[in-house]
Amino acid sequence: MKHIKNQKDFDDIVRENEVVIIDFYTKWCGPCKAIAPFFEKLEKEFPHIVFVKCDCENSEDVSDTLGVKSIPTFIKFEKGVKTTVISGANKTELLGLVNGL
């Protein structure tokens, strides 16, 4: 799984891929840790989608630019455009995000 470390990483990943879902997390966040295996499972089940992680503490410029206020937050980009944002470690909502619901 790819990790965003800075604004350039973010710009490149979103520009170069059709559909991208980014997991904004921190290492100390309990709900982030709980949903991580499910996010990794989705990456295997949906190979046409690029799944990426972004540690908010190491990439504050990216999370601040995108307005991430809580963690975990998942943001979907389609053709470079932010289309959907969900906050919280809800597997049903995350699966809906992946399926385009």
Q: Which residues of the chain have pLDDT under 70?
A: 101
Q: What amino acid positions are annotated as catalytic residues?
A: 29, 32
Domains in the chain: ranges and CATH: 2-99 (3.40.30.10)
18-31 per-position pLDDT tens digit: 999 999 999 999 99
d(CA 39, CA 41): 5
pLDDT at residue 33, as a whole number: 97
> What's the whole-model pTM score?
0.94
Pick the closest to residue 80 from 19, 1, 22 (CA basis). 19
pLDDT at residue 101, as a whole number: 56
pLDDT at residue 100, as a whole number: 82
